[in-house]
Amino acid sequence: MSGVRTVPVEAHLVLADGSVFEGEAIGAPATDGVATGEVVFNTVLSGYQEVVTDPSYAGQIITFTYPHIGNYGVNPDDHESRRPFCRGVVVRELSRRHSNWRATGGLDGLLAAHGVPGIAGIDTRRLTRHLRDEGAMPGAFGTADNATLLAAAIGEPGTDGVDMVAEVTCAAPYVVPSTGGGRRMVAYDFGIKATILRHLSGLGEVTVVPARTPASEVLAMRPDGVFLSNGPGDPAPLDGIRSAIADLLGEVPVFGICLGHQLLAGAVGGETFKLPFGHHGGNHPVRNLATGRVEITSQNHNYCVADGSIPSADLTHVNLNDQTVEGITFRDVQAFSVQYHPEAGPGPHDSRYLFAEFDRMMASAGGAPGAGGGV
């Protein structure tokens, strides 16, 4: 993980519609010279390590729109999960050397160590414009010939209708100790990020449970609140998870982020749909309808809750780029959720107040911290 690359190896990225992009291989070698996934683009200027290790990218190939990636290296403290779950990484220029006092290695080495292939030297401006115009689509990249890559891209199923959560969730419950608060919370792991757990542990002890844990087991823990995490892919095939969430509503305060927001909406009959190319970046403007304040937010999702599909909830936040739903709160039960990422490692931090909102909701439901009053 020295950060210095060897002689370039020619590689190509081929989209399912036949578009071809020339580049060079980085990271781990692709199996049989081919890596496949749904190709999306992310507009962050920094935080590439957090993006690559975000489990919400399972099944996807990440294109970074910023032209120069990897200049400050990587370090274990900035991992958002135990390993990257993305299928690959596409960049314009991978930094030949990193320079930062916190760095313990380079991005190329991180990808290689975790078996993630990548491709550099790509005209990411052209690629991004194409995806913006035509929508996110399957693609394949590697050192195989273009005909092989095209066949692989066409054969890639993408993320529609696929349970991607099963790939990223924890195998067994574990506890994150409190770093300051006295609450007891349960967090569903649909692909939970480490930065979220750092914020929740500031409120109290967090028991993280696998995605398909029944509501009865969660309620038996007598939590003050339940958190529904971010995660990858399409919420449609996750019927059992939506049923468990429905059983929790009215029993304990619930807070959801990203996929957790979509599943919370779906638990009460809300509809979701797929965006053309998703929201992936760290600079999306969202209006808080209660305050009128515009928050700059971090986002990573391809699916969205349909406006007006939940009669029992009020709209709280709206995306100013496309007017899509970014937040809801329920009128008859103690539950709320947002589509974006208020934890946002490394930033922006405009929306971190939502964790305090969750704490206030737990306080109003059960009184003293740790009382398990939501049950």
- Residue 11 pairs with which residues in a beta bridge? 23
Known catalytic membership, residue 317: no
Mean pLDDT of 309-317: 96
* pLDDT, position 25: 98
For residue 70, pLDDT beyond 60 = yes
Residue range 3-29: average pLDDT?
Answer: 90
144-171 mean pLDDT = 97
The band of 48, judged by pLDDT with boundaries at 50, 70 and 90, is very high
Could you say which of 199, 284, 317, 341 is catalytic? 341
Helix (H) or strand (E) holding 141: strand 137-142
Q: Please determine, for residue 301, whether its predicted confidence score (pLDDT) is greater than 50.
A: yes
* CB neighbour list of residue 291: distance below 8 Å, 6 or more residues apart: none
| pLDDT tens-digit series, residues 335-368 | 999 999 999 989 999 999 999 999 999 999 875 5
284 part of the active site: no
**Mean pLDDT of the chain, nearest integer:** 95
Region 248-252: mean pLDDT is 98
Q: What is the pLDDT of residue 365?
A: 87
> CB–CB of 94/120 below 8 Å?
yes
Domains of the chain: 10-155 (3.50.30.20), 165-366 (3.40.50.880)
Percent of the chain residues topping a pLDDT of 70 = 96
Token pair belonging to 8: 């370039």
Instruction: Tell me the mean pLDDT in the region 168-195.
Output: 97
Which of 86, 156, 258, 284 is catalytic? The answer is: 258
* Helix/strand/coil for 374: coil
CA 375 to CA 366: how far, in whole Å? 8
Q: Which residues pair with 329 in a beta bridge?
A: 314, 336
Helix (H, G, I), strand (E, B) or coil at 325: strand
pLDDT for residue 318: 98
Fill in the DSSP letter of residue 55: G
> What pLDDT, on a 0 to 100 scale, did the predictor assign at position 4?
47
**Residue 370: per-residue pLDDT:** 61
For 15-32, letters b (16+ CB in 10 Å) and e give bbeebebebbbbbbebee
- Establish whether 341 is a catalytic residue: yes
DSSP track, 238-287: -HHHHHHHHHHTTTS-EEEETHHHHHHHHHTT--EEEEEEEEEEEEEEEE
Separation between Cα atoms, residue 82 and residue 169, nearest integer Å:
11
Predicted pLDDT at 5:
52
Average pLDDT of the segment spanning 145-164? 97
Nearest-angstrom CA–CA distance, 328 and 298: 17
The more confident residue out of 313 and 369 is: 313
pLDDT digits (tens, 9 = 90+) for 98-108: 999 999 999 99
Scanning the chain, the segments in alpha helix (DSSP H) are 48-52, 107-113, 124-134, 146-155, 165-168, 194-201, 215-220, 239-248, 259-267, 353-366
**For range 271-299, the mean pLDDT:** 97
What's the confidence (pLDDT) of residue 309?
96
